[in-house]
Every structure is written in C-alpha cells, then in structure tokens.
Structure 1
C-alpha cells in the first residue's frame, strides 16, 4: 500500500487533491480523466460507470478508479454539476514530448453549479450569488460568468435575503459563515462557504460596505474557480429593492409569472406568452423585467412610447423582427472572448451579428420615440473590427482552434507559403498514387496516413504478389493488406508534415492575436448587446400587443383604477378566440376594496389574477389585455391564492395562509395591491369567518391598499352596509335543469347562493351522495344562522375561553391515559383500552 501511494504520480495526485477536498478531481491521464479512491466510488455510482482498480482488483490494497474520455468529459461533468457537485479539472500544463519524468499537472478550472459554462439555457441566466453581513446589513452580489452581468443590492434581514434570492433563483450561493448557510438552506440551492475577498474596480460602484464586501467575495470565488481572466465582467448594476415593484416569491408563483404552477415549465406562464423575442439576450432581459417591474413613471412612459411606435409601424417592426432572428447571442459571445474560450466560429458569429447593425439602424431611422432614438445612437457597428474578422477567418471555420483550417488565404503571407507547400505535397501524393497504380497494374493500391507510420503505400494481401521484387520497402503487415514505404515517399512526408505542423501552429498564433484584438472591444460590444436586447424586448411587447389586441394603459398619479373589458393574458390564449369573458374593475377613493363572492370554479381567482397581471404588465412598460385601462403605480403586489401546504417547513395550508396574509398586512402600503382568496377556509367555519372579517377590517382601517378579497363566507357581504369603502361584487352563475352554468361575468352585488352541491355534481359524485347533501343542506339552513359582528361595535376584552379541550380538569379518562404504559402495550391491548376509554367518555 505504502509503495503504491509513494509513486511520483500518486504523490502528485494527493498533493493536488488536498487543495480541493469538496470537489471531484478529474485527473488527466493521456486521453482520459481518471478519478481515484472515494471520488471514483461516488462518481461511478452517480454516473453508472465501471469501477476498477488502478493496481488491479487482485492487489493487496487495490486503488478504486474510474474514468471518462477527455473528449466526452463535458457531458459527465454536467450531470454531476446539475446534482449539486463540484468538479476540479486537473490537466497537463506542459508538453509530454518536451518533459523528462512526470508531466506537471494543475487544476485549470473548478466547475460549480454557479459557474458552469456549457449546457446553458439560451434565455436564462445562470447566476452565482454571494451574501455577506456587514455593518448590520446584508450585501447581495450576483454575477453570471456566461454573460459577464453583475449586480449589487443590500437588505436589512436574512429573511429579506431569502426573498430576494427566491426571485433571482441563483444556481449557487456563496456565504461567509455557517450561520448564514443554515439560515438559507431551506431555499434548497447549493451553498458554499468561502471567506476569501478580492477587490475589483466594479466593486467601487457599491453604495455601502455590505455591497462592496459581497462583491469582493463573489469576485474572489469566481477568480478562484475559473483561474483565468474575467475581463468580460460588466460594471455592476447597483439597485435597491425599493426601486422596483416588490413581488413576494409566492406572488411570482401564484401569478405564474415565469413558470406554470402546473408543469413548472415556461410554457403556460406570462413569460411564455410574452417571449417572442428573436435573441437569447432579449429573452433573458424580458425575464428580468418581469421580475423587477418599474416604479418610475418616466421610464414606464418611455417604454410605452417605444411599444406604441413599433406597433404603429408594421413594416419597420417586421424588418426588425426578421433581422433580430439572425442575431447571435452577442452577450455570451463577448463573454467567451473575455473568458478566453471563444473559437474562430464564435468570432465569425460575432462578425455576422455586427454586420446586421446597419440594417437595424436603417429600420429605426423611421421611428422617433425617445427610447428608440437612444438605442439607435448606441448601436456601434464596429466597422474596423468587422473588417478584421472578415479578412482573418473563413466563413465556416472548424470548431477546434488547433487543427487549422480557420484563417483565410491572404491574411498572412507566411501562412500562405506553408499552406501552398502542404497543398503541393498532397498534390504530389495524388500523382504518385495514380502513377503507381498504372505501373503495378493494381487498381486498388492507395496512399494512406496514420500518426504512427506516417504516409504509406497500401496493397491488399491478394495483390501483394503482383509487386515486382524490391519495388517497395515493407513497413507493416495487416490481416488483409501490406503497407510499404519508399525513400522518396518518406522525404516528401517530412516536407508535407513539416509544413502542416508549422501552418497549424501559425494559424493558432494568428487566431489568438485576433481574439486579443477583439478583447479590447469588450466594453463597447457589451453596450451594443444590451441595446439590442432591449430593442428585442420592445419589439416582442409590440408584437404581443398586436397579436392579442392589447391597449396602451394610462398611468395615473393618483390611486384610482379603471379597467374596461380586462382579460387574463394567458388563459385567453388557450380558449377559442372570443370565448374568454372579459370583465372590468373600478376602484377609487370611495371604493378601495372588493368583496368577491360566487361559486367555486366560477372564475373568482382568475379575475383577481387578471387584475394583478394587468397592473404588472403596465409597470414593465407593456400594453395590456383590455379595451381601456387607467392604472396607478403599485409599489407592491401581495397574493394569497390557492391552497398549498409547505411540506418542507412542515406548515399546513392554514398556516401558510396566515403567514402570507401576515406579510401583506405588515408590509403593504396604501400604494399596494392585495389579493386574498378565500382566507380562513383551512380552519373551522366560525374561526375562519371571524379571521376573514377581522382581516378585511384591518386592511380597511390600517393599510388602505387596493384589495380584492374573495370569500365563500357569504355572511361577510353585509359588511358593505357598514364599511363605506368596501363594495360587493359577484361572479354570475345560473341554474339550468338542476345544473349550474358558470357565466364568468363579474357584476356588482353579492352572490345569491354558493352552488357548492352543483359543483359536486359537475365532478360526477354519486347521485345518492348528492341527494343526501341536499337534504342535509336544507336542515342546516333551517337550524343555524350565522351572522357577523358590525365592525363599528367595540371589541370587549372577554374572559379567556379555551378552545375545545379534550379532557376536563378532573376527568378520570385523562388520569387513565396519563398512566398508560404505551411502550409495552401490544396493538390489541391498545385497541381494547381505547374502546374502554371511549365508553367511559360517553357516560
């Protein structure tokens, strides 16, 4: 065992592995990456690889080993990263041909969930986030290695950190303490603890110490894992959460902004509907806009002006759409340049994109909105850079940068000479093959090449006897052929291979020189990419508005709301055209809250969501699904819609209801929008109704937010008489032939009945059960009348009354239960005891 571990290679392995204990070490050996010991066992299990032993399975102390081919490693690495692991890539860093003894190896990159550069989703960012506490605040720095984007903010509490991260949805979080790691573990996002800091000029943009420290941690982690230049890192965008509409994580989920609640996919969400962008970077920007709606009336108006202009100019919009479809992901191409991984093919794509800019500018010349004009001015076509790339590279270069075939003829005279020499040599080979076939009469004779023997003449075994004695020198015998060489062939081989090797080396050098020149333009290219992305989003919003008949909303400085014929933007698209029932909404100083009643499945929740989505669309600068809309700027949207247990934290539906309602009651302002759907249904009838009324009163008296409150407690509708700013509305339904027909129309006034049994009939419950339910309903309605307390009645502190107690203070049943030896009871004994206790309790 000791002898095996003391070999030079294993010493090198252990030395490197010691620096990366939390990562799988992919150790390069020839054409494979090998893993050893526990790494090998775990990776073999995760990826279903064959586990072998380096020194043989029959050795006294076998070393577990598994491996993957170097050329196919990315696929295996991606699988490990998606499962939350890290991989340290250990490569040879010197040429084995020029080295005596053990080749030097180093870790050239650590791949983590937040820094994976391959297998990227086109229209999604892969964020890495650092969280640091400093001076009583928590700094949050985020970055995307694949695009160079970075941003900074700070918040007051860890709870606020968790909420911000729930919106950002990073792939990895870096923290500086075990306390923070434990506090954020419920997010179920891979966490890494790291305390190293490294300053960077972009960190100077921070507006407080927490932000600056967070950026220093983020940059250090990026630098430590990527081990290369991060020249593509863009200046950090500093923002305060209060600069944008605040959206709770459950609001993003309930409104299905970026993911369908049913499938978890983008399709079926608001983002899925709006995203008709032509570029990947436009798709990513649109998602960011949805997650951070605006509060600035000026910026909202700028975007609306641009969308209106694009909507009015059909031909220019179509020209922009067609051109944008040809644009490559400029943001990630530029990132590759700065990162040092761009290929010649990437640079050709960069050139192709820059060549499209004049076409984009020509289309924008006919448009005059302020924002479109600003975007047009910032679109620099980089003519000199485009010319350089055009002269340097062929139109379809190979993927690899180390096999030649990239550089265009005429770009470099020395390369041209080498290529001519190589080409002439190959022409000579073709001539030799033809002449030897004629001289020997063997039509299948051919000249081939491999890395071991170089060029050779190959003749089948059957034809070898036809060769004159001594014509060729035998080099290799195969099962079905003989291979030969001649002095003349070997001489030409040296010339051809020498020219090829030199040309390939020179091509790579020229490629690196051109790539370095592109690198000097990174900042200006990133500005172009941001402008193209924004233009793409605006074109997509205009296209959506035309397709679905949206209107421009009017932005109000006050708090009134007026929507005529509003529609749910997503649901209307899955119904046959014209079948969606549009509904309006009218709120003002005298009408702050709507109490919505109506049967289940009638559309109460859809009505509430539609209002929130229209408000949100307005604040990203989009037209809205309505025939007319006048809207204020909401600072926050709170939603409690739908029943959902929180199994991770062990909270019931009712507890989740109360927690989410508490968020709205404590954080909402009179500029907020609150949507509460059937609060109180998770507990007893009287508890639920009491809580529902108390919540309605609290919002009206202490919050003042515009509120939509749907309820199945029809008794609450009498509140309209005593609360002047509350109005009843209901979703219409009618009974036809004993069955309920949902009209989905929202009208003023309260619903006349709940139709719960009718809904049960629609669900095909047994007829006998339905009949029994109708009888019981009739009895309940005759024997019980529930009422509500007027909100104007003072609250009197009553004597404390316990909720239903299982046992009286001197109950003998209680005393018996307390003395039971449950641990040693058999199931039968426990059942018998329970039976006796039940009988005793019934006396």
Structure 2
C-alpha cells in the first residue's frame, strides 16, 4: 500500500472503505461501479470477471474490476449468494456542477437478510433477518425476525434457550444478529456463517431498544406492542432496527405493527418434525419434488405462496379459522369456472408487498411501476367474479353470507380496487419504459403539459423546423428558400444571392458565400435552442416527475399492503381447492376431541410420486380407548409411510385443507412430534443412536395429552435387549401421560412389544400385511389389526440383492437358533414386566428385589457371557456369521 501512488480519487475510495471494512465497496465512476485492491480481487474471482489494474505501468499497480451500474443486479445477487456484504457508494452531487472531485458516499449496504430486489429473492419464500438474545441471569431470552422486503416481523420470548434456537431453525434466516459475548450452542454450529456478533451497548441495550422500537412503530410505549413484559424480545427487536438503520440509511416506518407470535393459536411443529415429514425439504436437503410443499402449492402469486408456507409451518389450533378456511376451499372446489377464472386473473398479479416496499424505500425502477399498474388492473375483474358468484351461489351445504362463505364475504367487504392509483398509473406510464429513470421515455403524452412540449420537440423536432421553413416560404414568397445546419451556426435559412434583396426584414445575415446568403430569424433561433436543450430538459423533468409519483405512491403503501393480504388469502384458498381437485382429496371433519379416524388415507407426496393407481390406501384409527398403536411388520412393508401420512393428514386438516382420504375425522393436535429415520451428526460426535435418543428425550419432555407422536424403530441403534427395554419403557411412559396417554403411532421390529396390548388398555396391535407365495413375500401395504407373525428380514435381504449363498446360510442359522431357543424354553415372547411410568432420578419408589436368575448349563452360560460382551456395532456381517458358526460347531453342540 505504501508504494501505491495516491490520487485524490483513490484517497476518497480508501477513506470511505475504512468505514465499511466488512463489505465490498461498489464505487460509482461514470457508468460503472468500480472495485479496487483486495475488494477487486475477491469480486473478480467470485464473479468470474476480468481483473485489471489502474496505472499498470506504475511501480505498484492498483488491482481493479468493475460492472456496469445500470445492469449490476445480477452481479450483486451473485456476491450476496457467496455470503458477501456490498456497500453501494454513489455520486451524491451532479458531476457537471462539481468543483474538483465528485462527492460520494455510501447510500446503502446490501446484506443477504436485507435485500428487496427480486433478483436476490425467492418469490414464494420469506427472506428473514433474525436477532436472538439469551439473558442467563433472568433465565429468559427473545428471538425476533423480520422480512425486510415485505415489512412483516414478529418474534417470541421464552424461558428456554433451546426453544429459541429451535424456532431459529424453523425460520431459517439468512442473517442472524447475536450479542458478541453470547455463545452459539454446539448443536446449532451450522448457523455460524450467517451470524453477526454485535456489541450489546450499540444494538441490544434495553433503553436504546425501547426508544428505537417506539420510534419506528409510532407508539408511546411498548405496551401497545405487547412488549412491555418481554424485555429480551424488545432487545432483539431493537437490535434488528439498529442494524437496518446502519445498513439501509432509511427510516423504517414501512415495517408492519409488531405482534409477538401467539403460540397458543397454532399447532407447533419443531424443526425435527418438519425435516422428518419432509414438509419443505427432502431428507437429502433438496427442495421441490418430493416435499409436501411441492404437492400443495397451486398458488399463482408470490404473496399466496408465502402465506401457504406460513400456514404449513404454523397450522391453526382453533376451530374457527380451520372451518372458515374449509368453507372457502369447498366453495371454490365446487365452483370450477370461478376458480379457473380467478387463477387466470391472479396469474397477472405481481408481488404487491415487495413492489410497495421498493417504492417506499426509493428502490423501484420503471418496470416496478409497470408491474404495479398491471397488477391493479385485474383487481376490479376479480371483484366482479366474486360478486357474480355471490348472486348465483346455491351451495346449500356451505354457511354463507349473502351467497358467499363467510371468510370470502369478509374479505370482499373491504375490497379496494385502488382505482385512483390504477387510473393515475395508466395515464402516466409509457407501455415500455426504459430500465433507468434518468434516460427519459417514462411517461405518456398528455400526463404533463410541459413534458408534452419537450416530448414533441425531441420526437418531432425536425418536423417543427420544417414547418417553420414552410411558413417562411409562404409568407415571404421565397420558394427557393432552403434550411441548413452546421455545428458553427446551428440552423439557418439559405437564399440565392439573386433573391437576397427580397428577404423579409426579420432575417438577419449570418454568412455570405459565393452563390448564396445564410440568415437566421428570432423564431428559428428560439426553436433551435429548444431543440438542442429539449433532450436534457426532458430527462430532468421526467426524473423529477418520477420521484414525485413515487412519493405519492409511497404514501398509499397501507392500501397496497391491505390488498396484498386479501389477494394472498384468495390465492391461498383457490390453491388448496385446485390441489384438492387435482388429487381427489376430501374435506375432513376437525373437532376438539382426541379421536383420529382416517378411512382410505394416502400419503400425498408418495402418491404424487408413484401415481394414484399404484398407491394402496390405509385406515388409521386412534381413539379415546386405544391411543397407542404398536405397528409391526417387515422392512419395506410401509410402516414409516403409514406413520407419516397420519401426521401429514393432521397438519393439512388444521391448515384448512382437504386431505388425501375417503373420509377423515381429526381431533385437533397442539403439537406433532416425529422420530423417524436414521441419522447421525458426526461433526458433533453424535452417533445415530445418540441422535435418536436426543429426539426421543425431547418428545418425552414436551408431549402432552393433545399431542400426536409418531415413533419409528425406537432403540434399534443399540443391542437387542437394551433397545427392547428402551422401547418398552417409552411405550409405558406415553401410555401413562395425561388422562389416558398420548396419541401415538409406534412402529417397531421388537415383536415382544405386542404383548403390551394385554397389559396396557391404551395399546392396540396393528401390522403391515405380508403374503408369502411360493417362497417369496409380497408386500400388501395394508395396515391390519393384530401383530406381525415375524420380521421377514431374510426375505427382505434377498429382495435387496444379497447373494443367494448368504441368504441360504442365514436361513440355516435362523432355523438352528429358533430350534435351540425352543429346546431351551426361550421360544416364546418374554412375559411383560410390571407396567409402570418411567420415574425421574431421585423421585422413584424403592426398587424391588431382583428375581433370581434361572440356572443354565455351563456351556450355554459361556456363550451367553460372550454374547453379552460382544460389540455388535463393530462386527462386520462376515464376522457375525463366523461367531455364529463357531457357537454352532463348538459350544452349542455340547448338548
């Protein structure tokens, strides 16, 4: 740096860069944003653009690269995707008026969590910036999150730090603000790249947070926002506001009124359940096909898509909203022409929320105004469609208000066509405006008289000059009068010398040539001045008019946002209706009891992947008397699918959606927990079994009477006896919870658990039917009452392609082991131990004396000792077979 020749421009650049060391500085120079030094090297590498240098022949050339300012959005999007922040340094004075170096300053800092441009955002997904604070002394914390592109924000306060981080995973923010001294739990280390540690005094201090929140929300105290008794949540909100002011350099009055998330109104799904049920992502981490979101999403607008995501993430736990949504969906299911007409109109609506935000923040371009105009033009058409449906509605089974379901009628009651703004934009905007607001061509003829004259001059200037020529010819009688132009004199009239004595008195001689004389007139000079300055004047006037129009539109943001919400709701309802019709779903009955009865239920995602003709439906009944279903059957038979489809149908029902079943009665759940699949976390030293037990522990701590729990293969990650004991104890605990136990679907390979049906009144046995035919097995995919007779593990291994020799040998070993077990009296399922609830350490009753162990022959005891000390997790299949062979040929043959 010391060898670099410091020019005034480079000095200005480095001075500004000092204030933004963590951002790439986009420095405006003419028609380009330039980057220098290390910023240039980083940007050139990540953008794959040429890295050049300033003063390449100097002793220490300055690395540089640049992108055109008028088409920089794709480059900015790529840098943000790479995790960089970008500081936009613009010229803040007119270069024509500047004395010396043009004044520049940073007008905005782009960060992944604060962008508002469509190029950086997924249309149907929220883009969250979050702040989290945990106060160990107060044993309380707060988490707030905001979608800056729409202005929506909310948050929660909790006495459990783990709950805050669970919600962090659910919201999946692109940026996370955290106090500098606060540690991130190891389990959530994946968030580290998104985290910004910030000093508490500047961002998280309570007095400053209180002041910032009240100022941004326009309230006198935090009581109006339900934050007075939530200091940690208020601090998180204050940190978000401080960060937004620092990066956006704009007032934040566009943010919606803050309301803490009311968890009591929603069915809660933790991040483990979202992942296991593949609501938004497949188990491999991918989005799209293979997720419930992909099957459900038939929305036509970005606002409707985001509302669908919110409802899928937080379904209702109140009958009113659920039944109201069902009525609206049923109405649109039964009105096919209306639904299709609405879909056509909705397809023309752009993102009203993000459009109005960009307009408010002065980040809108002419194309945004055109998108807004086109969106407003279809609002009257949608209102007309709904009004026609009101007068022609005859659906007697739907509770109606004036011929419409109550939620649609309520939405329509406050419908605002925004006709005044639609008319203004129609009158003002050209049909194909340029991208830049400084290039002119933005407005229609007739919008502004002064602009009309300038437009006439720039677009028809030559015709105006020719009109003046014809006028002079007519009045003077000089038919040989000609019009000319050069850079020295500008426009002039030319007359042959023979006619020079006949020119009118207002002609002024400018130049004499051999054969002619050249003249100017006051009218020609005035017209010339207008023509030469018209283009610049037009651009300046259109720029001013555009900003004035933007300010007027910004003041109407509340009206745009209100209609965006109504359009989103209408799109949400029609999307659920369209999905119901396409997939042949039915309307469920949702009630406040605990019974769940699903007749011919299907897994919507599996059915969508396989086709409805290949999917075998199943019935699931969980009642007051039988709240825990023990489901047995071989691998690949479909146990996990049945578990997941029951949970998914419950979620869909509480969204207000139709469900994939012939009929369904769903007792509302307050939480759904799932423990399915096998996974590990090697980075944190957690084995598959450890992850399984951690998820099980969370369920046992939090599940209540109204919860729905699905458990798959508890205890399979450890030894047979350990796993059986754990699974057995978990079943007992779930049956002992509340009054009558927790509603649970429990899939297992431990057939010993089926004896619990006779011991625990809450337990019922079911199995996935399998048919043996000529030595092969056929998966019937049907859930039927009763336990499975055996696991069919060897048959499944054969289907999977295990070599015949291994399969045959495994059958021989299995038959021998079964024979030995029968001879030793161990061929039956063990009797159930005395049933009791799992007791916490320190609170249990005295333990009974252990029963004396039965005597056994010495050689059997020797084998049992070896078996007990055997580490089955470290054995390869071949080693296991060798051990079994040694027992068979030595120890076990002694009898």
TM-score computed with the length of structure 2 as normaliser:
0.80
1:16 aligns with 2:16: yes
Distance 2:465 2:699 in 1: 81
The verdict on how the C-alpha distance between 1:68 and 1:802 changes in structure 2, with shifts beyond 3 A counting, is: farther
Distance 1:161 1:380 in 2: 39
Distance 2:130 2:298 in 1: 29
Residue 745 of structure 2: SS of its match in structure 1? strand
Please give the per-residue CA displacement for 1:624-657, whole angstroms capped at 9, x wherever unaligned.
1111111111011110111111233231111110
CA contact (8 A) 2:4 2:61 kept: no
Cα offset, 1:734, TM superposition: 0.8
Distance 1:93 1:181 in 2: 41
The verdict on how the C-alpha distance between 1:349 and 1:616 changes in structure 2, with shifts beyond 3 A counting, is: same
**Matched ranges for 1:196-595 at <5 A:** 196=203, 197=209, 198-199=212-213, 200-202=215-217, 204-207=224-227, 208-262=230-284, 264-365=286-387, 366=390, 367-427=403-463, 495-595=530-630
Cα offset, 1:154, TM superposition: 1.7
Please give the per-residue CA displacement for 1:270-294, whole angstroms capped at 9, x wherever unaligned.
1111111111110111001000011
Please give the per-residue CA displacement for 1:517-536, whole angstroms capped at 9, x wherever unaligned.
11111012101101110111
Cα offset, 1:48, TM superposition: 3.8
Query: What is residue 163 of structure 1 aligned with on the other side?
Result: 166
Query: What is residue 115 of structure 2 aligned with on the other side?
Result: 116
Query: What is residue 104 of structure 1 aligned with on the other side?
Result: 103
Residue 404 of structure 2: SS of its match in structure 1? coil
Distance 1:416 1:623 in 2: 56
The verdict on how the C-alpha distance between 1:311 and 1:257 changes in structure 2, with shifts beyond 3 A counting, is: same
Distance 2:247 2:449 in 1: 40
- Please, which of 736, 744, 748 is the counterpart of residue 785 of structure 2? 748
Tell me whether 136-145 or 279-288 shows the greater mean CA deviation: 136-145
Which stretches in structure 2 are left out of the alignment for 5+ residues? 204-208, 391-402, 469-483, 492-510, 512-518, 837-846, 852-864, 872-895
CA contact (8 A) 1:378 1:527 kept: no
Distance 1:311 1:455 in 2: 71
The verdict on how the C-alpha distance between 1:201 and 1:49 changes in structure 2, with shifts beyond 3 A counting, is: closer
Residue 278 of structure 1: SS of its match in structure 2? coil
Distance 2:263 2:651 in 1: 16
Residue 288 of structure 1: SS of its match in structure 2? helix
Residue 765 of structure 1: SS of its match in structure 2? coil
Please give the per-residue CA displacement for 1:39-69, whole angstroms capped at 9, x wherever unaligned.
333333333444444343x644444433333
Residue 329 of structure 2: SS of its match in structure 1? helix
Aligned length: 763
Query: What is residue 779 of structure 1 aligned with on the other side?
Result: 816
The verdict on how the C-alpha distance between 1:663 and 1:793 changes in structure 2, with shifts beyond 3 A counting, is: closer
Distance 1:340 1:735 in 2: 71
The verdict on how the C-alpha distance between 1:408 and 1:59 changes in structure 2, with shifts beyond 3 A counting, is: closer
1:87 aligns with 2:113: no
Distance 1:788 1:167 in 2: 43
Residue 578 of structure 1: SS of its match in structure 2? helix
Query: What is residue 881 of structure 2 aligned with on the other side?
Result: none
Tell me whether 549-558 or 127-136 shows the greater mean CA deviation: 127-136
4+ runs deviating over 6 angstroms: 428-432, 452-456, 486-493, 801-807
Please give the per-residue CA displacement for 1:791-833, whole angstroms capped at 9, x wherever unaligned.
426764769x9997799xxxxxxxxxxxxxxxxxxxxxxxxxx
Query: What is residue 147 of structure 2 aligned with on the other side?
Result: 144
Distance 2:241 2:831 in 1: 59
Distance 1:401 1:701 in 2: 69
Cα offset, 1:493, TM superposition: 6.9
CA contact (8 A) 2:70 2:436 kept: no
Query: What is residue 738 of structure 1 aligned with on the other side?
Result: 775
Distance 1:281 1:253 in 2: 24
Please give the per-residue CA displacement for 1:374-430, whole angstroms capped at 9, x wherever unaligned.
111122112222222222112332222221112111111111111112233244799
Query: What is residue 176 of structure 2 aligned with on the other side?
Result: 173
Query: What is residue 815 of structure 1 aligned with on the other side?
Result: none
Cα offset, 1:555, TM superposition: 1.8
- Please, which of 708, 727, 731 is the counterpart of residue 696 of structure 1? 731
Query: What is residue 466 of structure 1 aligned with on the other side?
Result: none
CA contact (8 A) 2:329 2:576 kept: yes
The verdict on how the C-alpha distance between 1:766 and 1:497 changes in structure 2, with shifts beyond 3 A counting, is: farther
Please give the per-residue CA displacement for 1:94-151, whole angstroms capped at 9, x wherever unaligned.
1222112221111111111111233221111111112234654322221112222222
The verdict on how the C-alpha distance between 1:109 and 1:770 changes in structure 2, with shifts beyond 3 A counting, is: same
CA contact (8 A) 2:454 2:538 kept: yes
Query: What is residue 792 of structure 1 aligned with on the other side?
Result: 834
Which stretches in structure 1 are left out of the alignment for 5+ residues? 433-446, 457-472, 474-485, 808-843
CA contact (8 A) 1:697 1:791 kept: no
Cα offset, 1:581, TM superposition: 1.0
Tell me whether 780-789 or 73-82 shows the greater mean CA deviation: 780-789
Distance 2:263 2:557 in 1: 29
The verdict on how the C-alpha distance between 1:239 and 1:495 changes in structure 2, with shifts beyond 3 A counting, is: same
Query: What is residue 758 of structure 2 aligned with on the other side?
Result: 721
Tell me whether 569-578 or 61-70 shows the greater mean CA deviation: 61-70
CA contact (8 A) 2:457 2:464 kept: no
Residue 129 of structure 1: SS of its match in structure 2? strand
The verdict on how the C-alpha distance between 1:396 and 1:254 changes in structure 2, with shifts beyond 3 A counting, is: same
CA contact (8 A) 1:181 1:193 kept: no
CA contact (8 A) 1:173 1:191 kept: yes
